Amino acid sequence: MKRKMVIHTPHGDLATPFFMPIATRGAVKTLSSFDIEHLGSPILLSNTYHLWLRPGMDVMKEMGGLHKFMDWNGAILTDSGGFQVFSLSGLRKLTPEGVQFQSHIDGAKMMLTPELCMQIQRTIGSDICMVLDVCTELPAKREDLETALALTTEWAKRSKNEFEKTREDSINPGALLFGIVQGGTDIELRKRSAQELIDIGFDGYAIGGLSVGEPFEEACKVLEALDPILPKDKPRYFMGGAKPHEIVGYVERGIDMFDCVLPTRNARHGQLYRFIHDDLSRPDFYETVQITNEKWKMSKEPIGEGPELSRYTMGYLRHLFTVDEMLGQRLATMVNVKFYLDLMDKIRQRG
Amino acid sequence: MKRKMVIHTPHGDLATPFFMPIATRGAVKTLSSFDIEHLGSPILLSNTYHLWLRPGMDVMKEMGGLHKFMDWNGAILTDSGGFQVFSLSGLRKLTPEGVQFQSHIDGAKMMLTPELCMQIQRTIGSDICMVLDVCTELPAKREDLETALALTTEWAKRSKNEFEKTREDSINPGALLFGIVQGGTDIELRKRSAQELIDIGFDGYAIGGLSVGEPFEEACKVLEALDPILPKDKPRYFMGGAKPHEIVGYVERGIDMFDCVLPTRNARHGQLYRFIHDDLSRPDFYETVQITNEKWKMSKEPIGEGPELSRYTMGYLRHLFTVDEMLGQRLATMVNVKFYLDLMDKIRQRG
C-alpha cells in the first residue's frame, strides 16, 4: 500500500513519503537554515499561530515572507495554528465565526477566523497552507464530535474561498492548500469528514486529531478506513508525532507526509536515535540512547556521517551534555533530524 | 611600539597580534570547531582546571588529547587554572607545595601543584602551556604581594622542570611554555617578577593579575614598565578581558596575544559588536548594539559577512532572541568572535 509521488511546490519538488523538521518560530530549534540545507531536508514546517504573534505580520510583510526572513529556499508548510489555539483551554472560546483566545505572550484578546488564518499564511508565503480546523479534546461525546465536524467542514469551505481570493496578490501564488480530516477515532465520522472535504476539493488531505494519546492500532484503523476514500493522486499528511516504527506503519497505510517534535525535543534532552539494522518491517530496527550515560564516556564512535557530524565522537558529545554546552544540543539535534531524514530515504528505497 | 612576529606551534603558525576565542570546556560556547574554522581563528584557549575536572584526564588520555577530542587542528593554549582555583575563595588553601581546594562540581578535595598542572596540560596536548601562578586578590598589602611573587617564581621554576621532564613522552613534544608575570600594579614588583622569570627562561611571557577591575591607565603603566625588560623576540600575552579599544592600546604597548570572554558572553545576551569606522586610533571606532531593541525589528541589514552570516538579517536575529531560539545566541557569538578576529586583522594591517 506504499505510495510514491512527487509533490510540486513553488520551492521545489518533494518525493514522498517525507518528513518535515519543525521550525515552529522560524527556526528548527538550535539549527540554522544553513544547517538544514546540509542535512538535506527539502521542506520545513512552521506555525501560523506562533509567527502571527511573533514576529507578527507587520515584520513578516516587510521582510517579504518566511522564506526570505529565515533565508530558506526549500519548501515551507505552515500548520494553521488551530491545534495551538485550541490547546489554550480556558483562554479560548469557539464561535461559528472563529475562535477567540488570549495570546499566551501578553494575554491580548485575539480572534482567529478561517479567513484570517489564510491571510496570515499568504503573508508568510507558505508553499503548503493548512485550513483552520476545529480540534476536539478526546474523549468526546459523539454529538460534540459531530458539531465540531460540521464546523470544520464549514471552515474548510471558507478557507478555500479566502485562499483563492488571496492567491493573485500573494507573494507565493503557486501555494497549495490542504484540508484536515477530523472525527476522532469514530470511523463513520472520519469518512464523512473526508468526503465533505473531497467535495470541496483540496490539493492534499491531512489527518488531524490523531497522535493525541490513542494507541497506534487505533490510528491505523482510521487510516485504513480513509485509504479507499481519499483521492489516490493527492498527498496525505499525518499530523502530529510519530515514532520511527509508527511512521513505517503509517506509510504502509497510505501516508505521504509526516512531522514530529520527537527528534528535535529528545535531542535537546540528550536522547539520540540510531539504526540497529535495515529491516524496517521489524519494529526493533532502531534504538534511542541516552548520551549522558557513562557507557559513552570513552567512546570514539562518530556521532554521525557527513562533513560535520563525522568529526565528533560520542565521547565528546557526552562531555558537551555533561558540562551543559549548548553545542551538545545542536549536534544531537542534527543527529536526530538526520535519522528521521535517513529513515524516510530508506522507506522510499524499499521495494 | 607595535610588534610583529610569527609564533611557530606544532599546530600552525600564529601571526601577532592575535585574539584567542575561549573554549573553556572544550568548546567555544554555542560553536563547533567546524564553526571556528569557518570564522578563521588559528588558535583557541581552553582551561586546565575545567578539563581536569570534566571530562577528566582518563577521558583526555583515552581520546588522545584535546585536539582530537574536539577535532580541532589549529593551535590550543591552555590557561593553567590558577585563576579558577584561586577564585574558589573559602574553598582553597595555599601551601608552598601547591593549592588545595574543593571541586566546584562535587566538593571533592583536590590539590593542584605546579608539576600536576604541567602533567595535565601535557595530557591535554596544548601547544602553549601556562605555568601555575599564585593569584593575589587586589587590593593587597605589599608584603602579601611579595610573598605571592616569591612563590610564583618558585612555582615557575618547578613548572619548567616538570615541563621539560614530560616533554619526550608527551603527545605534543613541540609545545611551548609561558611564564606569568605577577605583582599587581606595583611597578617594582612587576619588574622583579619579570626579571626572575626571564632568568628561568620561557618561550613567552604572560602578564597576569590585570584586568581585575583596575583602570585602563593603570594596566598601561604596568605594560610600559615591562616593555623594556621583556625579551623582544618572545611573545607577550595579556591575560584576561580587554575591550576592543583597550586591545588597540595594549598592542601599542607591546602586547601580542589576547583572550577575552566579552565577545562570547555578550553575544549570548544579545549584545553585538560592530565597527563604526576604520580609524583605530580613536576609541569610538566600534559600537555595541542590543539586538532585542525595537530598532532592529524590521532591519534587513545582514548580521555579518561570509557564507553563513550574510544570509541572516538583524531583524531575523532580533526575532530569534525575542522568541528565545538558541540559534540566536549562536549567530550572535559568530558575529562577535568575527568582530574580534577582524579587529586583530585591522591591527595587523596598520602601518
Asked about A79 being catalytic, the answer comes back as yes
Are A110 and A49 within 8 A, CB to CB?
A: no
CATH of domain A6-260: 3.20.20.105
pLDDT in tens, B251-309: 999 999 999 999 999 999 999 999 999 999 999 999 999 999 999 999 999 999 988 99
pLDDT in tens, A311-343: 999 999 999 999 999 999 999 999 999 999 999
Query: Which three-class secondary structure state does DSSP give residue A110?
Result: strand
Q: Grid coordinates in use for B277?
A: 569606522
pLDDT of residue A138: 73
- Residues 37-66 in A contacting B (C-alpha not used; CB under 8 Å): 50, 54-55, 58-59, 62-63
A30, A32, A314, best to mutate vs chain B, most B CBs in 10 Å: A32
- How many C-beta atoms lie closer than 10 Å to residue B247's C-beta? 22
- Residues 230-249 in A contacting B (C-alpha not used; CB under 8 Å): none
- CB-based contact, B264 to chain A, within 8 Å: no
Q: Grid coordinates in use for B82?
A: 590558577
Mean pLDDT calculated for residue range B86-109: 88
pLDDT in tens, A23-37: 999 999 999 999 999
Q: What is the DSSP string of B248-315?
A: HHHHHTT--EEE-SHHHHHHHTTEEEEE--S-TTSTTSEEEEETTSGGGTT---BS-SHHHHTTSBHH
| Model pTM above 0.95 | yes
Do B320 and A31 count as a contact with CB atoms less than 8 A apart? no
| Backbone phi, psi, residue A152, to 5° | -60, -45
Q: Is residue A1 pLDDT above 60, yes or no?
A: no
- CA gap A194, A153 in Å, rounded: 9
Closest Cβ opposite residue B308 in set A32, A58, A323: A32
Q: Single out the catalytic residue among A35, A79, A133, A256.
A: A79
Query: Which three-class secondary structure state does DSSP give residue B117?
Result: helix
Length of chain A in residues, anyone? 351
- Give residue limits of the domains in chain A: 6-260, 261-351
- How many C-beta atoms lie closer than 10 Å to residue A195's C-beta? 13
- CA gap A284, B223 in Å, rounded: 65
Q: What is the DSSP string of A45-68?
A: EEEHHHHIIIIIHHHHHHHTSHHH
Are A130 and A80 within 8 A, CB to CB?
A: yes
Q: Single out the catalytic residue among B35, B79, B127, B256.
A: B79
pLDDT of residue A60: 98
Residue A104 per-residue DSSP state: T
- CB-based contact, A302 to chain B, within 8 Å: no
Sign of CA dihedral B308, B311, B314, B319: negative
Query: Which three-class secondary structure state does DSSP give residue B216?
Result: helix
pLDDT of residue B38: 94
- Quickly state the pLDDT bin for B104 (edges 50, 70, 90): confident
Closest residue by Cα to residue B208 from B179, B246, B236, B180 = B180
Mean pLDDT calculated for residue range B183-207: 96
| Contact partners, residue B164, CB within 8 Å, separation at least 6 | none
- Quickly state the pLDDT bin for A107 (edges 50, 70, 90): confident
Mean pLDDT calculated for residue range B139-145: 86
Pick the range with the lowest mean pLDDT from B99-113, B164-178, B197-211. Answer: B99-113
Mean pLDDT calculated for residue range B167-186: 96
Cell 542535512 belongs to which residue?
A: A39
Closest residue by Cα to residue A162 from A123, A206, A134, A204 = A123
- CA gap A97, A17 in Å, rounded: 35
- CA gap A293, B61 in Å, rounded: 19
Q: Grid coordinates in use for A331?
A: 549536534
Instruction: Give chain A positions within 8 Å (CB) of B34.
Output: 307-308, 311
| Highest mean pLDDT (candidates A205-214, A279-288, B133-142) | A279-288
Sign of CA dihedral A37, A43, A49, A52: positive
Instruction: Give chain B positions within 8 Å (CB) of A269.
Output: none
Q: Is residue B141 pLDDT above 90, yes or no?
A: no
Q: Is residue B117 pLDDT above 70, yes or no?
A: yes
Q: Grid coordinates in use for B9?
A: 606551534
Residue of A nearest to B310 (CA): A71
Q: Is residue B351 pLDDT above 90, yes or no?
A: no
pLDDT in tens, A58-84: 999 999 999 999 999 999 999 999 888
- CB-based contact, B319 to chain A, within 8 Å: yes
pLDDT of residue B138: 73
Q: What share of chain B is helix, strand, coil (3-state, %, to 5)?
A: 40, 20, 40
- Quickly state the pLDDT bin for A351 (edges 50, 70, 90): low
pLDDT in tens, B15-68: 999 999 999 999 999 999 999 999 999 999 999 999 999 999 999 999 999 999
- Quickly state the pLDDT bin for B1 (edges 50, 70, 90): low
